[in-house]
Amino acid sequence: MNPFQELYQKNKLKGVSDSKATKEYSENSFLFKKYSGKSEFLNPYFSFRGRILSKIAFGSYRVGLESTEHEKSIELSLSMGFNVIDTSSNYGDGESESLIGKVLQKKIQKGELKRENVFIITKVGYIQGKNLEIVTELENTNRAFPEITYYQEGCYHCIHPFFWRINSNILSKDWVLKPWMFFFYTIRNIFLWIERNIMFPKKRRQNNITKELRALSDFWNKNEKKVKSYTTGFHPIRFQKTRKNILPLRLSKS
């Protein structure tokens, strides 16, 4: 049995952004009507893999289901013509994703929006809130996920493919929105942890990280259709060669 089954969403929205729908959406937007024909600098949209996306996204780091202001903010953003939303599985203990699904579903039912109009970015790897409680319970019964990074109290991180297999099950079956158009794996916590807790020689740390990233790459290549993520990427915001103890990372095709 999947230990995270109780966290799955029951209602799902199928579909993914596409070139035709995003172009149609942008051309009918308030943003386009106000700034079309002006300089490229003021052009509010850009092309990404055939899709026309707003240069400014709605960031949903601190939004939740209980706030009507948060809900109205997303609605306003979409009505103005912004069609990129950034979220993460741990934002608001999952409520950020749920609120996005709620708003989109409402606007779709009203005929104001198509699922294909909107490009959504999410991230996984964090263990916080409800899923932290589950992971802690598993650890107490000797069923822990391997290679968890204990970054700080109340916030863990895991990039082991076994942990991702559980999450890919969520992605392919039970999230409010599926499939995700853009799926980021964010590794900033790992490097913050390394920066604060230098436990291994540099070469050993680099070998461990390279091994883990290669395992993740193999996992994605084998499970791309099952996961239904159309674009994947890494978010290495802590890679700075000028910072002490931060490893430069070179990703190469395998």
Q: What is the pLDDT of residue 2?
A: 57
pTM of the entire predicted model? 0.72
Mode of pairing for the β-strands spanning 232-235 and 155-158: unpaired
pLDDT at 52 over 90: yes
pLDDT score recorded for residue 109: 93
Rounded to 5 degrees, what angle do the CA atoms 211, 213, 219 make?
105
Give tens-digit pLDDT for 218-248: 766 666 555 555 566 655 544 444 444 433 4
Q: pLDDT at position 35, please?
A: 87
Tokens read off for 93:
């203990």
- pLDDT value at residue 225: 58
Residue 21 has pLDDT above 90, yes or no: yes
Q: State both tokens at 221.
A: 């290549």
Cβ neighbors of 228 (< 8 A, separation 6 or more) are 171, 172, 178, 179, 180
Q: What is the pLDDT of residues 128-168, one digit of tens each?
A: 888 788 888 888 888 887 778 777 788 887 777 777 665 54
Strands 182-186 and 119-124: parallel
> How confident is the model over 85-143, as pLDDT tens digits?
988 878 888 888 889 988 999 999 999 999 999 998 877 777 888 878 888 888 888 88
List the Cα angle 67/72/73 in 5-degree steps: 95
Q: Give the pLDDT confidence score for residue 242 in this predicted structure.
A: 43
Confidence of residue 71 (pLDDT cuts 50, 70, 90): very high
> Is 12 exposed, middle or buried (CB count within 10 Å of its CB: 0-12, 13-18, 19+)?
middle
Kindly tell me if the per-residue pLDDT of 191 is higher than 90.
Answer: no
